[in-house]
Amino acid sequence: MNDIYNRKVLAYFKKPKYYGKIQRPDGLGKVGNLVCGDVMWLYIKVGQRKDKRGKNEEYIKEAKFETFGCVAAIASSNAVCQIVRGKSIAEALKLTKGEVINDLGNLPPVKIHCSVLAIDALREAVYNYLKKNKKIIPPELKKQHQLIEKNQKLLQKRYKELF
């Protein structure tokens, strides 16, 4: 069984450093995959700092996750939380599945969608933060949110006793 995944994926799975809730998070992203059924919740805390040019910038101070899913889903969630800690919001939104998979070493082809789901969760958490604080939402993020929201409604129907 443990030859499907590499050592790093297994290490993240065995001891995911960033699992759990953040109490009173600044942003919370809830996503799920309608095909396989995995569900991820990603929490963020946002901080303020000065960037290199002395301008104010917002960054992800903390990120944590809760995941109902397989080994790859749990490892991907953990990887995303680890990668985005300390990144500015603008940088975090640029995160690609390639970076997540790179961080993990690799993922079996059938599990690539798990890394995509973890990125969706992050983007949703950022969207949630921007929306709550009435900040400008990049059009691309908004579009993505609308897509995810549609899925979300179907998922909530499926997991109605759980959500």
Partner 1 sequence: MNWALKGVAFKNKSKGNHLIISAIEHSCVRNTAQWLQSQGFEVTEIKPNRLGILNPKDIAKAIRKNTILVSIIHGQNEIGTLQPIGAIGKICRENKIYFHTDVSQTFGKIPINVNKMNIDLLTASSHKIYGPKGAACLFIREGVAIEPYLHGGGQENNLRPSTVNVPAIVGFAKAAELCQKEMATESLRLINLRNKLIKGILVSIKGSHLTGHPRKRLANNVNFWFDFVEGEAIVMKLDLLGICASTGSACSSQDLTPSYVLLSLGLPAYKAQGSLRLTLGRGTTEQDIDYTLQVLPQVIHDLRLISPFKKNYE
Which residues are at the interface with partner 1 (CB under 8 A)? 1-2, 5, 10, 13-14, 16, 19-20, 30, 35-41, 65-74, 110, 158-159, 161-162
Active site residue 36: yes
Q: How far is the CB of 104 from partner 1 (least distance, A)?
A: 15
- Which residue, among 88, 74, 93, has the nearest Cα to 143 in the 3D structure? 93
- The label of the residue with tokens 């995509």 reads 116
Whether the Cβ atoms of residue 53 and residue 47 lie closer than 8 Å to each other: no
What span, in angstroms and rounded, lies between the C-alpha atoms of 119 and 121?
5
Adjacent-strand bridge partners of 67: 40
Q: Which residue among the candidates 46, 114, 117, 155 is catalytic per the annotation?
A: 114
Q: What number of residues does the chain have?
A: 163
**What 3-state class would DSSP assign to 82?**
helix
Active site residue 70: no
Query: Which is nearer to partner 1, 88 or 152 (by Cβ)?
Result: 152
Query: Which is nearer to partner 1, 47 or 108 (by Cβ)?
Result: 108
Q: How far is the CB of 150 from partner 1 (least distance, A)?
A: 19
Query: Which is nearer to partner 1, 40 or 130 (by Cβ)?
Result: 40
Q: Which residue among the candidates 36, 95, 112, 137 is catalytic per the annotation?
A: 36
Q: How far is the CB of 110 from partner 1 (least distance, A)?
A: 6
What span, in angstroms and rounded, lies between the C-alpha atoms of 72 and 61?
25
The encoded tokens of residue 153 equal 């409604």
List the catalytic residues: 36, 114
